[in-house]
Amino acid sequence: MKTSNGAIDRIKVDYLARVEGEGGLDIVVKDGQVADLTLRIFEPPRFFEAFLRGRSYQEVPDITARICGICPVAYQMSACHALEKALGITVPPPVRSLRRLFYCAEWIQSHALHVYLLHAPDFLGYESAISMAEDPQWRPIVERGLRMKKIGNQLLALIGGREIHPVSACVGGFYRAPHKRELLALKGDLEWGLQAAMDTVTWTAGLTFPEFECDYEFVALSHPNEYPMNEGRVISSKGLDIAMEDFEAHFVEEHVAHSNALHSLRIHGGSYHVGPLARLNLNLERLSPQASMALRHCDIRFPSMNPFTSIIARSIEMVHAFEEALHIIETYERPEPSCVSVSPKSGEGCHITEAPRGILYHRYRLDDEGLVQEAQIIPPTSQNLRRMEDDLRAFVPTVLDLPLEQVTWRCEQLIRNYDPCISCATHFLKLRVQWR
Amino acid sequence: MKETETDPQAKRLIIGLGNPFFSDDGVGSVVAKRLKERIPPDVRIIEQNMDSIALMETWKDVDLVIVIDAVRSGSKPGTILRLDPFKQPIPIEHFGHSTHAFGLAQAIKLAGLFDRLPSTLIVYGVEGKHFGAGMGLSPEVQQAVEEVVRLVLRDIQDVRLP
């Protein structure tokens, strides 16, 4: 909307497109500055932490997988690790390796979906991937993205039993581990995918990026000798370095009226940034050889403080995921047995893994029969929500001389930098408050 | 994706789309279930409620595809539409789609651009009434089920494969 003198005074998006879940945006502008801004999350809350109470530890990975159709592996992995800590068990190296392969599959399918179908149209001025594919210039590109996504899905289905909400992961390992020959059948596709991912980096690095940088606090896992997925310490670009167990002493969730998803903040601090850009910026030296090479040949320098370059970070992570997947398959030893035996007992455990969209925190308290007494889940999107609002506050004044339609588009693009999964973020319910 | 024990190499394929946990959105799945006992053994039936973009792969190398999905076009609940995507574009806004997943109409459009459509494609749209969470169809939509089953069986009999 515009005032009588033609200045923009309101930017409104009723339904954000190309994000998972339902949200909207309302920005009020006064004298060239943002006077009021709400990233409205109206997708209804989904009460998963309540569903988990009283359920056996064995059911948790399958229930939490239902939180998200795009990143179910992340929910299963954080749940399995947290419950294994609560039950005092550790998994052998072959299981650990298969879990990384499982995560590679999810990163590939989730990142390919976002880079090609959800985010690229923003940079190229198309309304959707379909209108992009209508242009013969981009049709082979969209086709490449779809094939990459399909390979991720195939690998995920092979390990998980099915593509969406896989069923094989369990506390202690996997109900069934694939045979080496089954995995090797995908080798040719993964080799193609690795080259396609390298080409994706070249392509995304050649896009035009708005000039915009923020003084972010990037937060991600860090592991001494691997690119982080399942293990590590929580570190930040501003010097944080803590064990996962200390997460709740440094981060807090807060409710705001306009959002059915909680906002996470640093205690005594502000918003922070999780996801591929944070992960890459904080773990540049842990990339696989080809991913490192792709990074070196890229015109955009990392660490990058420009959130729009997250599309390149996702592309580089796809190179890493394809390359690591190939390595794991070639050196694969089928875990025998596929899972460690577990005896229920009381305990508490928390864990963080790197979901495609950033760190995902789970904490569980079990009674002596292994039934869940308390569950806490903090998804990456709710950790990024306040950061998205802060980005918009800083970004809007820089684009107000553009036509309203362009400003609105840019704001949506800025939100899509985070690949928000609103459906994940609204899983919560503050049970202690509601049930007393 | 759920599949009956039919031939995966079948050249004729029936796809019931939609999510049975969202009331009338599940009509495609109800029709598919009803058809299972009544189709020739060389016709494959699947029910699917995931991203329709996967359909491109599902109907690769298939000659005849019949898709049944719920629609919201503002017509009377239970109204049956029979569409031929080769003759008229499928209205995207009438078929289930979300902000991030592709619906049937979008999947057909993309498949057309990539030259991955089956040689014959028939789409049945059944106008739904309720799309909220819950199991079971509205009476008007339930009434249309038998008619859609009859029409699909007629197509299976009548359509000559190349």
In this prediction, residue A338 carries a pLDDT of 96
pLDDT at A258 over 90: no
For the cut 90, the answer to whether the pLDDT of residue A436 exceeds it is: no
Q: In the prediction, which pLDDT does B159 show?
A: 81
pLDDT digits over A418-428, tens only? 998 776 666 54
Provide, rounded to the nearest whole percent, the portion of chain A with pLDDT above 90: 74
A118 CB within 8 Å of a chain B CB: yes
Q: Over 90: is that where the pLDDT of B105 sits?
A: no
Q: Please say if the pLDDT value at position A85 is more than 90.
A: yes
pLDDT band at A7 (very low <50, low <70, confident <90, very high): confident
CA distances from A161 to A158, A166, A174, A284, A325 (A): 6, 6, 11, 33, 18
Mutate to test the interface with A, among B52, B100, B102, B109 (most CBs of A within 10 A): B100
What is residue A4's predicted lDDT score, i.e. its pLDDT? 63
Q: How confident is the model at residue A45 (pLDDT cuts 50, 70, 90)?
A: confident
CB contact under 8 A, B110 and A130: yes
Please state, in angstroms and as integers, the Cα–Cα distance from residue A192 to each residue in A106, A182, A183, A196, A329, following that order. 17, 17, 15, 6, 15
Whether residue A430 is predicted with pLDDT greater than 50 in this model: the reply is no
Asked if B77 and B133 touch (Cβ cutoff 8 Å), the reply is no
Contact call for A20 and B106, based on CB within 8 A:
no
Are B121 and B67 in contact by the 8 Å Cβ rule? The answer is yes
For range B101-108, the mean pLDDT: 82
**Nearest CB partner across the interface for A118, out of B53, B100, B109:** B100
Say if CB A428 and CB A45 are below 8 A apart: yes
Model confidence at A354: pLDDT above 90: yes
pLDDT at A236: 97
The average pLDDT across A351-356 equals: 98
Query: Residue A225's pLDDT is what?
Result: 93
Q: How far is B24 from chain A (nearest CA, A)?
A: 20
Nearest-by-Cβ selection for B100 from A19, A139, A163: A19
Angle at A394 between CA A392 and CA A397, to 5 degrees: 95
Q: How far apart are CA A353 and CA A363, in angstroms?
A: 12
| pLDDT of amino acid B82 | 93
Could A133 and B113 be called an inter-chain contact, meaning their C-beta atoms sit closer than 8 Å? yes
Element (H, E) at A28: strand A23-30
What confidence category does residue B1 fall into, taking pLDDT thresholds of 50, 70 and 90? low
Q: Return the residue of B nearest to A147 by Cα.
A: B57
pLDDT averaged over chain B? 86
Say what the pLDDT of residue B4 is. 47
Cβ contacts of residue A257 below 8 Å, gap of 6+?
none
Query: A150 CA to chain B: closest CA distance, Å?
Result: 8
Q: How confident is the model at residue B56 (pLDDT cuts 50, 70, 90)?
A: confident
Q: Looking at the predicted complex, does its ipTM rise above 0.85?
A: no
CA distance B137 to chain A (A): 23
Residue B114 with chain A: CB contacts under 8 Å: 133, 139, 143
pLDDT grade, residue A431 (50/70/90)? very low
Q: Tell me: pLDDT of A55 over 80.
A: yes
Mean pLDDT over A269-295 rounds to 97
Q: Do B50 and A163 touch (CB under 8 A)?
A: yes
Report the pLDDT value the prediction gives residue A433, as an integer from 0 to 100. Answer: 24
Mean pLDDT of the region A161-177: 92
pLDDT at B87 over 90: no
- Nearest CB among B57, B99, B114 relative to A15 is that of B99
> For residue B95, what pLDDT is reported?
77
Mean per-residue pLDDT for A187-207?
A: 98
Most B CBs within 10 A among A117, A156, A423, hence the mutation to make, goes to A117
**What are the residues whose beta carbons fall under 8 Å from the beta carbon of A105, sequence distance 6 or more?**
A73, A152, A153, A155, A156, A159, A160, A321, A325
Domains of chain A: which residue ranges? 48-384
Question: How many domains does one find in chain B?
Answer: 1
Measured in angstroms, the CA of B157 and the nearest CA of chain A are apart by 33
Mean of the per-residue pLDDT values of chain A: 91
Concatenate the DSSP letters of all residues of A213-262 into one string. Answer: -----BEEEEBTTB-SSS--EEEETTS-EE-GGGHHHHEEEE--TTBSSP
The pLDDT of A79-97, averaged and rounded, is 97
More confident residue, A371 or B104: A371
- C-alpha to C-alpha distances, A408 to A40, A207, A401, B71, B100, nearest whole angstrom: 15, 20, 12, 30, 19
Measured between beta carbons, the chain A residues lying within 8 angstroms of B53 are: 146
pLDDT at A215 over 90: yes
| Predicted confidence (pLDDT) at residue A429 exceeds the cutoff of 50 | no
Torsion of CA A386, A390, A393, A399, to 10 degrees: -110
Please enumerate in sequence order all residues whose Cβ is within 8 A of that of A17, keeping only pairs 6 or more positions apart, or say none. Answer: A128, A412, B99
Mean pLDDT of B86-104: 73
- Asked if the C-beta of A133 comes within 8 angstroms of chain B's C-beta atoms, the answer is yes
A392-A394-A398 Cα angle (round to 5): 100
What residue has token string 């009226």? A257
B149: pLDDT strictly greater than 70: yes
Please spell the DSSP secondary structure of A156-222, one letter per residue.
HHHHHSSSSS---EETTEESS---HHHHHTTHHHHHHHHHHHHHHHHHHHTS----------BEEEE
From the CA of A78, how many Å to the nearest CA of chain B? 24
- Measured CA to CA, the distance from residue A46 to residue A258 in angstroms comes to 16
Mean pLDDT: which of A35-49, A89-103, A244-258 is highest? A89-103
Q: For domain A48-384, is the CATH number 2.40.33.20?
A: no
Sheet holding A23-30, edge to edge: A10-13, A23-30, A33-41
Q: Residue B81 has which token pair? A: 């539409």
Q: Which of A15, A110, A164 should we substitute to test contact with B (largest number of B Cβ atoms within 10 Å)? A: A164
Q: What average pLDDT does range B68-75 have in this prediction?
A: 91
Residues of chain A contacting residue B100, judged by C-beta atoms under 8 Å apart? 18-21, 118
Q: Is A369 on the interface with B (CB under 8 A)?
A: no
| pLDDT one-digit tens code per residue, A308-328 | 999 999 999 999 999 999 999
Distance from CA of B109 to the nearest CA of A (A): 8
> What is the pLDDT, as a whole number, of residue A159?
97
Q: Of A18, A143, A150, which has the smallest distance from its Cβ to B57's Cβ? A: A150
- Between residues B19 and A95, the one the model is more confident about: A95
Q: Would you call B114 and A150 a contact, using CB atoms and an 8 Å cutoff?
A: no
Cα A21 vs. chain centroid, distance in angstroms? 14
Q: Which of A18, A133, A142 sits opposite B100 (nearest CB)?
A: A18
Q: Which of A267, A281, A268 is nearest to A220 (CA)?
A: A281
Asked if pLDDT for residue A32 goes beyond 90, the answer is no
CATH at residue B102: 3.40.50.1450
Confidence of residue B94 (pLDDT cuts 50, 70, 90): confident
Phi-psi region of A419 (alpha: psi -120 to 50; beta: other; left: phi over 0): left
In chain A, the N- to C-terminal Cα span, in Å, equals: 45
Residues in chain A within 8 Å Cβ distance of B57: 150
**Stretch A1-21: mean pLDDT, rounded?**
72
Boundaries of domain holding B14: 2-158
For the stretch B30-38, contacts whose Cβ atoms lie closer than 8 Å and that sit 24 or more positions apart, written own/partner, are B30/B137, B30/B142, B30/B145, B31/B68, B31/B124, B31/B126, B31/B145, B31/B148, B31/B149, B31/B152, B32/B68, B34/B145, B34/B146, B34/B149, B35/B149, B35/B152, B35/B153, B36/B4, B38/B149, B38/B153
Chain A positions in Cβ-Cβ contact with residue B113 (cut-off 8 Å):
130, 133-134, 139
Query: In whole angstroms, what is the distance from residue A37 CA to residue A45 CA?
Result: 22
Q: Is the pLDDT of residue B5 over 60?
A: no
pLDDT of residue B154: 95
**Which of B57, B102, B113 is the closest to A134 by Cβ?**
B113
A319 in B contact zone (CB under 8 Å): no
